[in-house]
Chain A
Amino acid sequence: MTTMSADTQTFIEHALARSEQLDQEQPGCRKLREAGRTLLGGGLPEGRFEQWKYTRITPFYDPAFAAAEAAPASAGDKKNLVQWPQQRVDLQLPDAAHNAAPAQNLPDGLTVVSFNEADEQTRPLLDQYLNLGIDPDRHTLNPINMALLADGLLVHVAADTRIDPLLSLTSLAGGLPASCQRLLLVMAPGSRATLLEVADHQLPRNLVVEIHLGRNARLDHTRLQPASEHNVWQLLHCRIDAGAQYHFNGYAMAGTPHRNEIHLQFIGEQAEAYLRGAFMANGRGRLDHQMCIEHQAAHCRSEQQFHGIALDKSELTFNGRIHIHQHAQQTDARLSNKNLLGSDSAKVNTKPELEIYADDVKCAHGATVGQLDAEALFYLQSRGISTEEARRMLLHGFVGSVLPDDDAFGIGDHLNQVLDQWLG
């Protein structure tokens, strides 16, 4: 990459130096960092290319990630964005400024340990699963996370164990000018858990969540990502083994810019994934959502339903890729992405992308971009509901139709409040 700009070269130099410094301070993630340094040493892409067609990549090469100085850490402020259930296990992602809070009163079968504190029981899990299956060419910002990770969190659910309390994952604010964080969740065969992730980014962040679902495991994962004024890149990488089920509900509000990459790999037969969510942007917010489902095993099913709302001068990008490998026969893959434009200046880029190499599959995809349904608007108005109120109700309804089935955490109320605030 001889054409890299001086800024990017400097960023890489600083990142490499900081990464080596971390080896001295935090020896726990050395192997991952070494691998990250190797990738970073090969350079970082710039300019616009297919995967980064609508979002500029270079702002994510933020020198703040390579800075060593720490700011005072603020307390773990659990904002009431959602209704937290009483029965829960609080998980906090460590970084260079925060140690993993000691997880207390863990239920049987649940192990929580920071990468740096992994012992002979847990280290083999890191060796086996950390960064497993993540394609550096597709997730170009993962090497930054790898090289600059001070510490991460490993959560393991033992085989055939059902964890009843909610696993609640939050990120601490402050302490650093920017932070890299990483969660590795390994669900052993037959295990079951529920994860609620509030990704409230109050600083530039590079976050990787890795999930490994063993045979017949089930994870219900809800993610709420409030708007933030910082560059945020998130990768959610999930490997799904035979018979396992992954249910994801993700709700993100735009930032400046935010890029979410979600990559699912079906690695065993008869597994299922159901993904649903909403993306909303206002002002000049930018949200780039890259979805990739890789069907590498036969008889699996994936269903995706995502709704986007772009108001004001905001811009949403949705790229929904479904890749069905040659031996993934009898795959059933569906993708729907519907978008509403709330103003003439808002923009939505949506692209379903199918790559199918098996000859006996069912695959359906659809993407729409439009205004509020005039018929529905008229129907509400004909009942005496004002234009403004009708518009508000239709937007709520558009989001409401992709909420979690029971919406136990009150995500819908939160999203509606945000929308009402945006609509003024």
Chain B
Amino acid sequence: MLEVKNLHASVAGKPILNGLNLAIPAGEVHAVMGPNGSGKSTLTNVLAGKPGYEVTDGEVTFNGQNLLDLEVEDRAHAGLFLAFQYPTEIPGVSNMEFLKAAIDSQRKAQGEPAISAMDFMQQARAIAKRLDLNPEFLKRGVNEGFSGGEKKRNEILQLLMLNPKLAILDETDSGLDIDALQVVSDGVNAFRAPDHSVLLVTHYQRILNYVKPDRVHVLARGQILRSGDASLAQELEARGYGWITDAA
């Protein structure tokens, strides 16, 4: 589904990604772990097309399309979703209005009519309930005054409403208590399907107890230094990153 080859990227002229290779087949969950400053967030932002991140070399193919050629919104239309590490607060725009505009813009791109208000509300309420969010939450400004946990759950709400092909979760587990982690993990597991893939970027092995990864990759110094199965995450938890980064 996603193939990243020899990706080089810089921020404000400073190289962060230095020849990163990664392939995520359909239906798989891949975790990317790594120490602070290793380039994890740069990878997610480059994939989502955030301005300010300059790709200097390499290629990214998403379901056969050259992802780097697409505008931010077209990447979303193609089925890519980024759950933000720090979801932005947008006062004055209600969560509901935002979600409906997002769904409608994606439906429009697929040549489908806008979702009916009733279908939308039914879906939104059902998913909010599953994520243990009060439906009143839909009326509030986007992420406005939300707690850290609410913001992350709101990202998962959007993930489940938009139903993309690839979900990129940028440290969605950070700052969550055990209960919220469980709820968020359940949401991610609900998203898992043979035609859905997940790129889960995290600092901690903890979330991987709930969301079982097919592959685990270690990102350091802008490259994937090691890949393995779920047991690699446990080994990292026990030994830290030093034994990999020092060896490289």
Contacts and interface: CB of A to CB of B under 8 A. Distances in A.
Interface stretch (B71-79, B197-205, B210-218, B230-238): B71-79
B88 A379 contact: yes
Given A378-B50, A382-B82, A384-B106, A394 B73 contact: no
Given A379-B88, A401-B141, A384 B162 contact: yes
B93 A386 contact: no
B111 to A, nearest CB: 14
A90 to B, nearest CB: 32
Contact of B72 (A375, A378, A398, A399): A378
Contacts of B240: none
Interface residues of A, number: 25
A382 B90 contact: no
Interface of A: 373-376, 378-387, 389, 393-394, 396-403
A389 B73 CA distance: 11
Contacts of A383: 73, 76, 81, 98, 102, 105, 158, 162
Contacts of A402: 92
Given A378-B72, A381-B76, A385-B73, A401 B102 contact: no
B105 A386 contact: yes
A378 B82 CA distance: 11
A123 B17 CA distance: 80
B98 A393 contact: yes
A384 B73 contact: yes
Q: Which 6 A-B pairs have the closest CB atoms?
A: A397-B92, A400-B92, A401-B92, A384-B76, A397-B93, A383-B102
A381 B72 contact: yes
Contacts of A376: 88-90
B88 A373 contact: yes
A405 B93 CA distance: 14
Nearest to A392: B101
A277 B98 CA distance: 23
Given A379-B87, A383-B158, A399-B92, 19 more contacts: A373-B88, A375-B88, A378-B72, A382-B49, A382-B75, A382-B84, A384-B76, A384-B102, A385-B102, A387-B71, A393-B98, A393-B101, A397-B90, A397-B92, A397-B93, A400-B92, A401-B91, A402-B92, A403-B92
Given A385-B105, A386-B105, A380 B92 contact: no
Contacts of A389: 101, 105
Interface magnitude class on chain B: 20 to 34
Contacts of A401: 91-92, 141
B97 interface: yes
16 contacts: A374-B51, A378-B50, A379-B88, A381-B71, A381-B73, A382-B82, A383-B73, A383-B105, A384-B77, A384-B109, A386-B73, A386-B105, A389-B101, A393-B98, A397-B91, A399-B92
B167 interface: no
Interface in B26-41: none
B186 to A, nearest CB: 22
Contacts of A381: 71-73, 76
Contacts of A378: 50-51, 72, 88
B48 interface: yes
Contacts of B82: 382
B144 to A, nearest CB: 8
B105 A394 contact: no
B98 A380 contact: yes
A396 B90 CA distance: 11
B48 A382 contact: yes
A389 to B, nearest CB: 7
Interface in B116-158: 141-142, 158
Given A378-B72, A383-B162, A393 B88 contact: no
Contacts of B77: 384
